[in-house]
Homo-oligomer: A and B are copies of this chain.
């Protein structure tokens, strides 16, 4: 079933911010913890948290605490996920960012 124009407009508004759009594209590759994302954006940690909250509030991403870290990932059960997916498919991959994080030894692994 198609979403209403209003619903779609809200999703587009949410993703109409370069920081959030990039975040979502990154989280499409793999879950990340907040401190990893802080390293990927030239922005304060609270700013990152606030963007993540907006994305989580609508259900587009999920949160999972692991020890003292909080991981976020794309919620593929989100009602508008298929729609979001067609958007993300048209974006250039951001996996290089994650690779360079690892090269810098900034990847957080807590298992």
Contacts and interface: CB of A to CB of B under 8 A. Distances in A.
Interface stretch (A12-20, A53-61, A64-72): A12-20
A8 interface: yes
A94 to B, nearest CB: 8
Interface string A1-23: 01111101111111111100110
Nearest to A11: B16
A90 interface: yes
Assembly stoichiometry (copies): 2
Report, nearest first, the 8 A-B pairs whose CB atoms are least far apart: A13-B16, A12-B16, A9-B18, A16-B16, A9-B21, A12-B12, A2-B92, A12-B15
6 contacts: A3-B90, A5-B21, A5-B92, A6-B18, A9-B18, A12-B15
